[in-house]
């Protein structure tokens, strides 16, 4: 992970609708959810939801996969773990006083 990737991930999560989508997908677990179910749970119109999902997918925080005829969305736990690791990797190393 680098600063640009971390910033992109944080920016994607920095919108209340996208954060809600991501947290819902975390709750859904390994089964994930299709777009219709996400929209119903969060009361987000399909066109708006597509935009938010696109941002989360682009940031690598959500992955999509086909199950039968539908596209399922899943939280990408590895990406979030990498982000948290990046944010905390220099914990307690100290800062030179200037």
Domains of the chain: 3-88 (1.10.10.10)
Model pLDDT for residues 65-93, shown as the tens digit of each residue: 998 899 999 999 999 999 999 999 999 98
Rounded CA-CA distance 34/39 in Å is 9
- CA–CA–CA angle 66, 34, 27 (5° rounding): 115
Q: What is the pLDDT of residue 1?
A: 93
Mean predicted lDDT score pLDDT of the chain: 96
33 beta partners: 73
> β-strand 62-67 against 33-34: which pairing, if any?
unpaired
Name residues of the chain where pLDDT drops below 50.
none
Task: Provide the whole-model pTM.
Answer: 0.91
Phi and psi angles of residue 65, each rounded to the nearest 5 degrees, phi first: -150, 155
Q: What angle do CA 74, 27, 24 make, to 5 degrees?
A: 70
């Amino acid at each position: 992970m680098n600063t640009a990737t971390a910033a992109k991930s944080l920016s994607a999560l920095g919108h209340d609708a996208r954060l809600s989508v991501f947290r819902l997908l975390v709750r859904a677990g390994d089964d994930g959810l299709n777009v219709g179910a996400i929209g119903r749970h969060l009361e987000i119109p399909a066109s708006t939801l597509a935009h938010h999902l696109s941002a989360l997918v682009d940031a690598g925080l959500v992955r999509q996969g086909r199950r039968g005829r539908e596209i399922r969305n899943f939280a990408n736990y590895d990406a979030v773990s990498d982000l948290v690791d990046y944010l905390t990797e220099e914990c307690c190393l100290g800062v030179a006083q200037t």
